[in-house]
Amino acid sequence: MSSYSIAIYAVHRGGAACLQWTRVEVPRPSIHALVGRRIREQRKARRLTQGQLASAAAIDTSHLSRIENNRTQIGLNALERIADALGLPVAELFRGIPPRKPADHGLDRAVSSILRDAPPRKRGMILRVLKSIVRGD
């Protein structure tokens, strides 16, 4: 997940307004959603309708619509046919998609180990400190 700081609401304290900020976890779009968007962008840039591109790629128009709108997962054969119909290498449909950050399982294990080994009365405090650090308090 990606994390973004966004303003949620204004709070009036003693006649002065201040903004409250919070960190909200926003799920990253799936690779299928991102590729579907990229296909739509490339199709529109070429002024093609879904029907025209679907016909050139030898797929159903409804299937292309589902791909572009992330209602189905695109298969490799369809991906290759769509790229060919657009006159693009397949890799071009992945351009601009940021790489995912690899999970740091070692860090996850270290934090879990600290929590597991801590006395029960200190676990809550440790979690509050970690949350405070993550929120930037």
Query: What DSSP string runs through 46-68?
Result: TT--HHHHHHHHTS-HHHHHHHH
Is the distance from CB of 37 to CB of 50 less than 8 angstroms?
A: no
pLDDT score of 73:
92
- Of 107, 106, 123, nearest to 115 by C-alpha is 123
Same-domain status, 87 and 126: no
pLDDT score of 4:
45
pLDDT tens by residue, the chain, 137 residues: 444 444 444 445 565 544 445 555 556 688 899 999 999 999 999 999 999 999 999 999 999 999 999 999 999 999 999 999 999 999 999 988 877 766 666 777 887 888 888 888 888 888 888 888 877 75
Which residue is listed with tokens 């307004």?
17
Number of domains comprising the chain: 2
pLDDT score of 92:
94
Q: What single-letter DSSP state applies at residue 99?
A: P
Same-domain status, 17 and 38: no
List all residues 6 or more positions away from 1 whose beta carbon is below 8 Å from its beta carbon.
25, 26, 27, 28
pLDDT score of 7:
43
Q: Count of CB atoms within 10 A of residue 130's CB?
A: 13
Evaluated on CA atoms 72, 77, 83, 89, the torsion sign reads positive
Is the distance from CB of 64 to CB of 53 less than 8 angstroms?
A: yes
pLDDT score of 24:
53
Show the domain range for 51.
31-94
Same-domain status, 7 and 40: no
Same-domain status, 35 and 84: yes
Which residue is listed with tokens 């860090």?
107
